[in-house]
Amino acid sequence: MIKRFRELDKYQKGMIIVMAAMAVIFAVLTVKTVSKKGFNYRGTILTKTEENGSTVYSGTRKGMATSFTIGPDSGIVYRFGDKKYGPYYVKIDNSLLEPGISPNDETGYEILKGDEVIFRGSVRDTGAALLFYNENGDFESFGNNYIESNGIVMMDGKVLDQDEPTKAELIEIHTGPEATSKGNMALWFVGVVLCVLNALSIIFADEIFRFYLSFRIAHPEDAEPTDWEITSRYLSWIIMFFPIIIFFSMGLK
């Protein structure tokens, strides 16, 4: 195999070396991504620390410092870049449940932003999403949302700040989010398999060429590839880089 590699031209050797380097680099990045556990907030992992009696989930989102701080008084302060939201207070109050509703099915919550009550009612966890019901038992209306041509998101005629945490996110951070991680080593392995297959197709290009010809002509060992055949080989090797990069990149998400 080493002898065959030495016989390759510089472009073929370069392709194999680049794929090997990609496999190593993405292996390091994927292992680092998978090993980082914390609160998965909108696609960003916020790691948990304890600071002066407060619990802090921090990280970087959209290139800006992002953190949730849960103080000793259970107040939640959210920071995103230069923006600060809160403090929010999430309180469980099952007296808000409708008669006949079991706490096993729903949970009563009162959510405040400072002194302002932003939600008071019950919440049902469907597993896929949280359903909010107002104190009177009606399903909470989220209004008519739409995005204007300039990218501004509106609700009931009011501009929404999409950076502000939602009520569901506040409940999740209050109850203690499950530690999760991003990344998928299986997708990295798929990328490595594609690298190996592409490398073998480079090293044994003539053998593969004559193998396929053996089903069509006699004495394929005497056949020589045309310029178009050689060009097609290089194109196929280059094209194979796209799925390799895609799988390696997906392994980081």
Render pLDDT for 163-196 as a digit per residue (tens, 0 to 9).
Answer: 888 888 999 999 888 888 888 999 999 999 999 9
pLDDT of residue 30 exceeding 80, the answer is: yes
CB atoms within 10 A of CB 167: 17
Q: Hey, which residues does 146 pair with through a beta bridge?
A: 154
pLDDT for the residue 24 = 97
pLDDT for the residue 84 = 94
pLDDT band at 143 (very low <50, low <70, confident <90, very high): very low
Last residue of a domain, one of 135, 157, 181: 181
Answer yes or no: do 79 and 177 share one domain. Answer: yes
Q: What is the per-residue pLDDT across 147-158, written as a single tens digit (0 to 9) for each?
A: 555 556 665 566
pLDDT for the residue 126 = 81
Q: Lowest-confidence range among 20-29, 110-119, 128-137, 226-235?
A: 128-137
Dihedral of CA 51/56/59/65: which sign?
negative
pLDDT band at 113 (very low <50, low <70, confident <90, very high): very high
Answer yes or no: do 71 and 108 share one domain. Answer: yes
Answer yes or no: do 188 and 107 share one domain. Answer: no
Last residue of a domain, one of 128, 148, 181: 181
pLDDT, the chain, mean = 87
Distance, in Å, from the CA atom of 87 to the CA atom of 78, rounded to the nearest integer, reads 8
Answer yes or no: do 154 and 198 share one domain. Answer: no
Answer yes or no: do 92 and 206 share one domain. Answer: no
Answer yes or no: do 162 and 192 share one domain. Answer: no
pLDDT for the residue 142 = 43
Answer yes or no: do 125 and 233 share one domain. Answer: no
Q: Lowest-confidence range among 68-72, 118-122, 198-202, 249-253?
A: 118-122
Percent of the chain with pLDDT over 90: 43
Specify the higher pLDDT residue, 149 or 60.
Answer: 60
Answer yes or no: do 28 and 66 share one domain. Answer: no
Answer yes or no: do 213 and 95 share one domain. Answer: no
Answer yes or no: do 101 and 46 share one domain. Answer: yes
Contact 43/51 with Cβ under 8 angstroms? no
Q: What is the per-residue pLDDT across 33-52, written as a single tens digit (0 to 9) for each?
A: 898 888 988 888 999 999 88
Last residue of a domain, one of 166, 181, 196: 181
pLDDT of residue 129 exceeding 90, the answer is: no
Answer yes or no: do 27 and 78 share one domain. Answer: no
Answer yes or no: do 167 and 84 share one domain. Answer: yes
**For residue 218, what are the domain limits?**
2-33+183-250
Count of domains in the chain?
Answer: 2
Q: What is the per-residue pLDDT across 212-222, written as a single tens digit (0 to 9) for each?
A: 888 888 888 88
Q: Which strands form 116-125's sheet, in the order they lie side by side?
A: 130-134, 116-125, 106-113, 83-92, 76-80, 64-70, 54-61, 44-51, 37-41, 180-181
